[in-house]
Structure 1
Amino acid sequence: MFQDSPRTVDAAMLRHHGDVDARPGLLDFAVNVRGSAPPEWLRARLVARLADLGRYPSAADDRAAREAVAARHGRDPDEVLLLAGAAEGFAMLPRLAPRLAAVLHPSFTEPELALREGGVEVTRVVLEPPYTLDSAEVPASADMVVLGNPTNPTSVLHPTAAIEALRRPGRLVVVDEAFADATFDPQQFDMAATGDGHARPDPQGGSAEPESLAHLSAPDLLVFRSLTKTWALAGLRCGYVLGHPDVLARLAHGRPHWPLGTLQLEAIIATASPEAVAEARQQAQRIAIERTAMVDRLTNLGVDVHTPATGPFLLLRVPNGDLVRKRLADNGIAVRRADTFPGLTPDHLRVAVRAPEAVDHLIDALKVALW
């Protein structure tokens, strides 16, 4: 389904994000950041650089961060552009001057807003449930295609083969992998839930970051990554984009000098280390366990949960969604309204995957809010 007319686009809806729903004092299921602060080891790394803030970030700092990211993904440092959060990179997309950008929805709305504000013609490709990606639905004339993987807010993970099917001569495929490091292949998991809301993981494994294209070096592919969610760095704004050096140079054209500060560069270096990647993998395993238990509990309550889900969040559908969201807030629970995502309705809500103790409060509040 296509929705082409910019006259019908509400910029305020596209600009709405979960932090608006998470008012102070509410138990936060609206924002997908894991934890309220970075882990202690990462905080220590950042504190150790405070004494360097009297100096400008150096070219060596930038190079070290790009080398760390490149090593983490098996890329060349020239294929890495560091960002003050992935959203900064989306704001750069109009510099590539596409004639027609196709944005797949429901998905994170910032790329569409940035493209429209940059004067780019945008067509929406709105996927219907179960939100399966079909390259035939994308207009052949689109020379840029933007999608999320896993997709926020549906928690759908598209197969790499389906994404690669989007590639055409003269077309750039832009993949938002902001939540890729929070995904884990459940096929090798024993995910049977126990009575206390936990599940039993198979210690042998599963694979981290399934369906990621971060390793693929190609001139027609851009992959955006964020450090905000897994490492609780929303207030520091850290991310990067992987792509061909020529495309990255066009993205960065006109960018001010010193675009990232010393602490941002240090955070990127630290979280790209093998030890940090291993920690993120363990966290992705925990998310998979918590997500399965959470789906079971919500489903048993009669809530419509979109599955399969692969991200650190779930898409729900409930009757009278606006009223349910208000009742949840009145009972101390913040959830993300999802009608701001093209293709969804006021009855759709997004909830972050949380530990069983927090889910207890959500379930109790839902028992009141749904009836």
Structure 2
Amino acid sequence: MSGQTYSVIRKQIVKAKNMAHARMVAEGYNDYPGQVLHDDCKIIESDIEEIWDEEEQEAEIVLNSNEAKAEDQSIFLRSENRRLAKSVEKNKNIKDEAVYAIYEAAYSAFSSVDTAPIKSPIIKHLPGAPETAVAVFADWQLGKITPDYSSEVLAERIEIYTQKLLEITEIQRKHHPVKNLHVWLLGDIVEGEEIFPGQSHLIDSGLYRQVGINGPAILMKFFDTVLQHFEHIHVTGVIGNHGAVGGRGRKQHDPETNMDRLLYKSMEIFYKEGRKEPRITFNIPDGRGERHWYAIDTIGSYNSLLIHGDQMPAPGQYHGYYKRAMGWKDGAIPEDFEDIFMGHYHQQFKMTIGSSILRVSGSPESYNTYAQEYFSSMSRPCQHLMFVHPENGVTCEYSIWLDGV
């Protein structure tokens, strides 16, 4: 069956006291204060073609002849229901198109990777309680360009971090066992494409390459290396604001949709289903319809709240940090935790809040003209490293400088 479809697009500018009143004025209710300042209506006509089976066509003809029976109406309504369901599914697929593209990219990237198992290390057993190393990664913003930062520079700096991690771990092992490694991914690992106006001029790669090619390559190189030096790796990943998709219309997407999470999840699938590597495990909070913005990681009796940090005010506003942290500890977050670790602000610092320590991670990024101009701030590229005793908590921590020093 062929016919015409008409799309009615109406744009109104309404002056009212609040959003609720504006909506009622726009819909024609005269008893609400406000006025319509501009009203423009546009109708777009287009051809459509629907394929119905023979029975449905006959029912439509009967309906048009005003001789419809209940059975004819039922057939026609069933066909309309199928047509509308197809339309809904089509629109849903359009919204999910970016996510599907990244999955295809990840599949292509992983299909050529050697999936041979990685040999377990032989770690000398020393007396004393074993401690756990904690590698903290935050605000890579893979794909971002500054005068001295790019995807290639990031890859080089994570290699520097990896070597320093192993060197410091060997120093620690001269005194006590260090068998396991926890990796905390604190978000903004990817840069996104529509986070702020003009961003397209400040990236060297889109989401396809960030999440499907370059991101997996850097993370796989790191994971494959540390698996040769630790008995077990546990990865916990939370999302950042730069992982969001959709630009100004991002609120139309499922809140669960985030490119940081997709990158983490692709790594989990690769090591679980591809490599079938039992010595690396993942905790990536997810679930349809929610952001799932935090995670708790536990090492022995020590546990830390992990967030990206876009929930927090700018550095230096102690009262704002105190209010958030104490509210979360008082029950807003139901799980127990001692400390908090976050990123987002690209500069490392820590503060004591009650009995907790709140730590903020640096970033591998270095020279940033925006931070220079508007915040009078410039930080050396660094990422954090800690060692945690199962009963005593954090025993020591390091700032790993990534600018060649």
Q: Same fold (TM over 0.5)?
A: no
Higher relative contact order (CA 8 A, sep 6+): 1
Q: Larger radius of gyration, structure 1 or 2?
A: 2
TM-score norm. by structure 2 comes to 0.26
Which structure is higher in strand share?
Answer: 2
